[in-house]
Chain A
Amino acid sequence: MKRAFPLFSIVTVVLLAYALYQALVVAPTERTMGDVQRIFYYHVPSAWTAFLLFMGNLVASVIYLIRRNPKADALAVVCAEVGVVFCTVVLVTGPIWARPVWGIWWTWDVRLTTTLVLWLIYVSYLVLRRFSDSAQTPVLAAVLAIFGALDVPLVYFSIWFFRTQHPQPVIGGGGSLDPRMWHVLLINWLAFSCFAFLVCWSRYRLELLQREVEQAHAMESLAGAGVSEKASLPLSRSTR
């Protein structure tokens, strides 16, 4: 297991470099947008990866609610945090792509707005996890995660149900994508999925370590409280 992590890291770095080469050199230049369309190979795989991570958060949260398994709770936190990072990439690369193509950075269009709402929901989930000390926090967060996950299909299908400025989805959108573009898109998605898995792996280890430290501190303070309680007991009771 100790060797698996560096080995997988090397594979991921090589895959990311290959995916970058494919996106910048091998993929054909789009006729109307030109080179700026290559943002697509980072923007779309980041969105798909964020959706997958939010779905992972949902599954882990449901498992936690049913079984109260702390490892499922840790996995839910990890998926939400890494998902927020990928969703941030989507929200940053989208406007950079929109500016030269649409002539604007942002519009309050359904797809863009629901994506921003999705990001806000998961940021609030992380804020809840970070600043609430209550024993009920994991349960509340798991319930919030279920509501948050409802926004994922809303984001994806919003462009089917509403007239928007955003292009139709790549999968099931009815448009046709050049097979060479499909190939490059899938390579980039594979590379970003491996990268996300690697980051989740590290973050999961960090989460377990953090819980270990918190437990150690709790035990220490309990032991300290026990000693001080003994010290404050009346002599007759403590010597009994």
Chain B
Amino acid sequence: MNGVKFLFAAYVATWVIHVFYLGTLVRRFSRLRQQLREFGKGK
């Protein structure tokens, strides 16, 4: 049974999901910081 490619696929898929989610967090953080900066300038 050639399971190694499935094993590799499962491990890669796990980290792709986690890295994608971490990427969305970073994007949301920078957008909020930008909004806060703009809000500070507006005042």
The size bracket of the interface on B is: 20 to 34
Q: A43-B10, A97-B6, A199-B22 are known contacts. Are A220 and B32 too (CB-CB below 8 A)?
A: no
Q: Are B3 and A216 interface neighbours, CB within 8 A?
A: no
B24 to chain A, nearest CB (A): 10
Q: A33-B3, A220-B39 are known contacts. Are A89 and B28 too (CB-CB below 8 A)?
A: no
A210 within 8 Å of B by Cβ?
yes
Q: A33-B1, A93-B13 are known contacts. Are A216 and B39 too (CB-CB below 8 A)?
A: yes
Q: Are A38 and B18 interface neighbours, CB within 8 A?
A: no
Give the interface SS of chain A, mostly helix, strand, loop or mixed. Answer: helix
Residues of B within 8 Å of A212, CB to CB, are 36
A213 within 8 Å of B by Cβ?
yes
B: residues with CB less than 8 A from A are 1-4, 6-7, 9-11, 13-14, 17-18, 21-22, 25, 28-29, 32-33, 35-36, 39, 42
How many A-B Cβ pairs are below 8 Å? 78
Which one of B6, B13, B25 lies within 8 Å of A36 (CB-CB)? Answer: B6
Q: A33-B3, A36-B1, A36-B3 are known contacts. Are A88 and B17 too (CB-CB below 8 A)?
A: yes
Nearest 7 A-B pairs (CB), nearest first?
A36-B3, A96-B10, A39-B10, A93-B10, A35-B3, A85-B21, A100-B6
Q: A100-B1, A216-B36 are known contacts. Are A92 and B6 too (CB-CB below 8 A)?
A: no
Q: Are A99 and B6 interface neighbours, CB within 8 A?
A: yes
Q: A203-B25, A213-B35 are known contacts. Are A89 and B3 too (CB-CB below 8 A)?
A: no
In the complex, the chain A residue whose C-beta lies closest to that of B11 is: A42
A: residues with CB less than 8 A from B are 20, 33-39, 42-43, 46, 85, 88-89, 92-93, 96-97, 99-100, 195, 199, 202-203, 206, 209-210, 212-213, 216-217, 220
Residues of A within 8 Å of B4, CB to CB, are 35-36
